[in-house]
Copies of this chain bind each other. A is one copy, B any other.
């Protein structure tokens, strides 16, 4: 009875969603008409931004809702509805309102703004992720997590490189047009890097929903995911550095590779040191301010500063945002005369900005690229590499642990894989079809984890009924 009711509701939601999709399509067509009116109508330049932002937020919430009702993470819904928004143009060529967001070089003003909001969204997301973990927590998770994380980064990188080398034999023409003399090894390395980092959010949620957050496996996976993020960011820095070096004609040596790795590591270490000494002082000055909203603005200023410095150091801005979040701790904000915590204040802001990033990633997926069987092959090969690569995590932990569950728990790539893919796209290392394949990999790995993890945990408990209460 409960299931039937749940199912009925799910179908109801699906129906509402379909109806609204039609509305979306119409709105898209209308909006496009409105935009096409041109400057003589004295349209406020903010009007097309409001339309795009409104449609994106609506799609995000609809998609998130439907996927949550089917016990799937809402981020997947945002992604899938983004794919729908971006690809309604396949249904009717005049529903091309979102095309300016899919161009290789975004130039239309409203699209530039939406793109910037998505980029700010991912910075805020990494800042929030960083805020959730503290430096002292990182010290505690210890050796087991570090080993799991290291194995979970190396194996998928190698497998990803291999899968890419298997399918991609020549540099796509669109990349050669921009960077002649581009080495194909750069693509393989970037694909490998996309497969490295685990998105722990989904796994954490499954453990919580099953009431198994206290298991040692859960703690190992959560710890590994944090360290994993750091390894992933360093790999991203190294790979991006190699690509840029290659494009600007500098020679790539083992020395330069080590140098980029050292800069990335040094930046993170430096940020943490700065955090320990300077942040309390900075925040105690800001806490004396009496004007409204100083607390959230102080935190954002620090996040923007580190993101910018990371970029100056040749790293991705998200590395800085993550470091900023890692450094800021709850105790720093005690002096502020603010009733609510920083996380509570940030929540409404990230609720608006973060989904823009995921819907935007979906919009940029070109479904027509899967008409090419090769792209479909890449997508499936990447998914296989992503799944198999993380099983090594289970093999390296000591005896007595649920190895299969650890391996499965590390599978989802979620936002981190997407972020890496979008950086690869903006660096012009991977083209639209590899980007689309990466998005499909992210969707598949994220979709299979919750049911597999549930089964594997049940199986382990059945085998060892006495060992866990």
**Residues on A close to B: CB < 8 A?**
16, 34, 40-47, 49-51, 53-54, 57-58, 60-61, 64-65, 68-69, 74, 109-110, 112-113, 115-116, 119-120, 123, 240, 244, 247-248, 285, 289-294, 296-297, 300-301, 304-305, 307-308, 311-312, 316-317, 345-349, 351-352, 426-427
Residues in B neighbouring A51, C-beta threshold 8 A? 304, 308
CA distance A426 to B69 in the complex (A): 46
Contact residue among B47, B49, B61, B305 (Cβ-Cβ distance under 8 Å from A294)? B61
Residues in B neighbouring A296, C-beta threshold 8 A? 348, 351-352
Nearest-neighbour CB distance to chain B for A131, whole angstroms, equals: 14
CA distance A312 to B346 in the complex (A): 33
| Residue pair A40, B248 in contact (C-beta under 8 Å) | yes
| Residue pair A304, B53 in contact (C-beta under 8 Å) | yes
| Residue pair A352, B317 in contact (C-beta under 8 Å) | no
Nearest-neighbour CB distance to chain B for A103, whole angstroms, equals: 13
Nearest-neighbour CB distance to chain B for A208, whole angstroms, equals: 15
Q: A42-B244, A308-B54, A348-B348 are in contact. Are A74 and B291 (CB under 8 A)?
A: yes
Contact residue among B120, B290, B301, B349 (Cβ-Cβ distance under 8 Å from A348)? B349
| Residue pair B351, A50 in contact (C-beta under 8 Å) | no
Q: A57-B301, A116-B49, A120-B46 are in contact. Are A352 and B349 (CB under 8 A)?
A: yes
Residues in B neighbouring A113, C-beta threshold 8 A? 112-113, 116
Residues in B neighbouring A248, C-beta threshold 8 A? 40
Residues in B neighbouring A54, C-beta threshold 8 A? 300-301, 304-305, 308
Residues in B neighbouring A112, C-beta threshold 8 A? 109, 112-113
Besides the known contacts A45-B426, A57-B297, 11 further A-B residue pairs in the complex with CB atoms under 8 A apart: A16-B285, A42-B427, A44-B311, A46-B119, A47-B311, A50-B308, A54-B305, A61-B289, A65-B291, A297-B351, A345-B348
A-B contact pairs, 21 of them (CB 8 A): A44-B311, A44-B426, A50-B123, A50-B308, A53-B304, A58-B301, A60-B297, A61-B289, A65-B294, A109-B112, A109-B116, A110-B116, A113-B113, A113-B116, A293-B348, A293-B352, A296-B351, A297-B352, A300-B352, A348-B349, A349-B352
CA distance A16 to B289 in the complex (A): 12
Residues in B neighbouring A300, C-beta threshold 8 A? 54, 57, 352
CA distance A74 to B255 in the complex (A): 53
Residues in B neighbouring A115, C-beta threshold 8 A? 45
Nearest-neighbour CB distance to chain B for A426, whole angstroms, equals: 8
Residues in B neighbouring A45, C-beta threshold 8 A? 115-116, 119, 426
Residues in B neighbouring A240, C-beta threshold 8 A? 42
Contact residue among B34, B57, B289, B301 (Cβ-Cβ distance under 8 Å from A312)? B34
Residues in B neighbouring A297, C-beta threshold 8 A? 57, 60-61, 351-352
Residues in B neighbouring A120, C-beta threshold 8 A? 46, 49-50
CA distance A316 to B46 in the complex (A): 10
Nearest-neighbour CB distance to chain B for A300, whole angstroms, equals: 7
List 4 A-B pairs, minimum CB-CB distance, nearest first: A293-B351, A46-B119, A64-B291, A113-B116
Nearest-neighbour CB distance to chain B for A95, whole angstroms, equals: 18
Nearest-neighbour CB distance to chain B for A13, whole angstroms, equals: 9
CA distance A41 to B311 in the complex (A): 10
Residues in B neighbouring A50, C-beta threshold 8 A? 120, 123, 304, 307-308, 317
